[in-house]
C-alpha cells in the first residue's frame, strides 16, 4: 500500500509499505529515502505516537494514510541548540548584571519550553508553513 510521509520541516514523500511492517522498519526506510537518522524520527498519526515494535496495522494505517514525522534533536543538541539561550543572555546582559541575566534567562527558557510544548502539531505545522512562505 502507498502511504504519505510528512516531515514537520516540510519534506514530503510517498512510500510503498505493507500493513504488517513494524514502525521501526518504516523508520529504516525513511532513513534510506530522506536520510533522517532512525533515532531522531518520531512518527505520529491522528495525534498518537507510534511505538517502534508495533505494526502499521496496529495503528490502522491504510492506503493513503498520512504519517507525520517529528525530528528529535540530537543528544548534543546540534550547533543551534543553545542559540535562543545565548541570544536571550546577550540581550539581557545589556540591562542586568551577570547573575540577574542568568536567572532571567533560565526563567525565560522554562517559560518558552512550556509554551512551545503546549502547541499542537497543527500549530507547529502552521508556524513552519508561515516561516517557509516568508523565506520564499
Per-residue pLDDT tens digits for 92-127:
989 999 889 889 988 998 898 888 888 888 888 888
Q: Which domain holds residue 101?
A: 80-134
Average pLDDT of 32-39?
Answer: 86
pLDDT at 42: 92
User: Cβ distance 6 to 15 under 8 Å?
Assistant: no
Using a 10 angstrom Cβ sphere, with 0-12 exposed, 13-18 middle and 19 or more buried, the burial of residue 30 is: buried
Cell of 128: 513552519
Which DSSP letter does residue 13 get? E
Residue 75 or 54, more confident: 54
**pLDDT interval class at 78 (50, 70, 90):** very low
Last residue of one domain, picked from the residues 51, 71, 91: 71
pLDDT at 77: 46
pLDDT at 81: 47
- Pair (28, 6) in one structural domain: yes
Q: Are strands 41-45 and 66-71 parallel, antiparallel or unpaired?
A: antiparallel
Which DSSP letter does residue 43 get? E
- Pair (7, 56) in one structural domain: yes
Amino acid at each position: 500500500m502507498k502511504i504519505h510521509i510528512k516531515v514537520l520541516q516540510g519534506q514530503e514523500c510517498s512510500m510503498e509499505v505493507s500493513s504488517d511492517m513494524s514502525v521501526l522498519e518504516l523508520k529504516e526506510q525513511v532513513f534510506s529515502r530522506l536520510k533522517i537518522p532512525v533515532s531522531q524520527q518520531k512518527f505520529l498519526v491522528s495525534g498518537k505516537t507510534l511505538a517502534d515494535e508495533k505494526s502499521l496495522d496496529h495503528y490502522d494505517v491504510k492506503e493513503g494514510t498520512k504519517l507525520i514525522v517529528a525530528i528529535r534533536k540530537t543528544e548534543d543538541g546540534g550547533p543551534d541548540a543553545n542559540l535562543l539561550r545565548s541570544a536571550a543572555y546577550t540581550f539581557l546582559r545589556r540591562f542586568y548584571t551577570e547573575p540577574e541575566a542568568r536567572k532571567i534567562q533560565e526563567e525565560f527558557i522554562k517559560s518558552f519550553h512550556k509554551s512551545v510544548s503546549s502547541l499542537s502539531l497543527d500549530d507547529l505545522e502552521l508556524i513552519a508553513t508561515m516561516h517557509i512562505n516568508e523565506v520564499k
